[in-house]
Amino acid sequence: MTIAVDFDGTIVTHEYPRIGKPIPFAIETLKKLQTEQHLIILWTVREGQLLDEAVEYCRAKGLEFYAVNSNYPEQLEDYIFPRKVTADLYIDDRNLGGLPDWGVIYQMISEGRALQPVRNELPDLNSNKKSFFGKLFGR
């Protein structure tokens, strides 16, 4: 899988523009995923010197990314903000529901659950029961 991972709030605590404290097991989990042949892309709003600092922080911890803010290593200079990367999975603290524990993230990826829909059921459109939004807006 190609996995795009955010930096601030995901690999380190969110203290942008400074580099925050390491989030437990983030680096270790990403390195483990790499040993299992997953491609890890750093996907962050950081640019310039702030981006270089984030990449060097991870490198010093033994984590080298397949690419940074791009789909392929050689595309790094071709992209102008905003960057959109193509990935099978995006790991970001701004996900709906927040960032799960890195152990949960690893387990979901290794078991293939990360690619499954969260809910596999459709609402019953013939039901007289009002949805949350129906109750909220009186419909």
Residues 6 or more apart whose CB falls under 8 angstroms from that of 90 comprise 3, 4, 5, 6, 43
The pLDDT score that the predictor gives to residue 11 is 98
User: Range of 131's domain?
Assistant: 2-137
Backbone conformation region of residue 13, classed left if phi is above 0, alpha if psi is from -120 to 50, else beta? beta
Q: Which pTM was predicted? A: 0.78
What pLDDT does 95 receive? 86
pLDDT digit string, tens, across residues 99-127: 999 999 999 999 988 766 655 555 555 55
**Alpha-carbon distance 8 to 10, whole Å?**
5
pLDDT of residue 106: 94
Q: What is the pLDDT of residue 82?
A: 52
**Which CATH number belongs to the domain containing residue 36 in this structure?**
3.40.50.1000
pLDDT < 50: residue spans in the chain: 78-79, 81
> How many domains does the chain contain in total?
1
pLDDT of the residue at 35: 97
Residue 113 is predicted with a pLDDT of 84
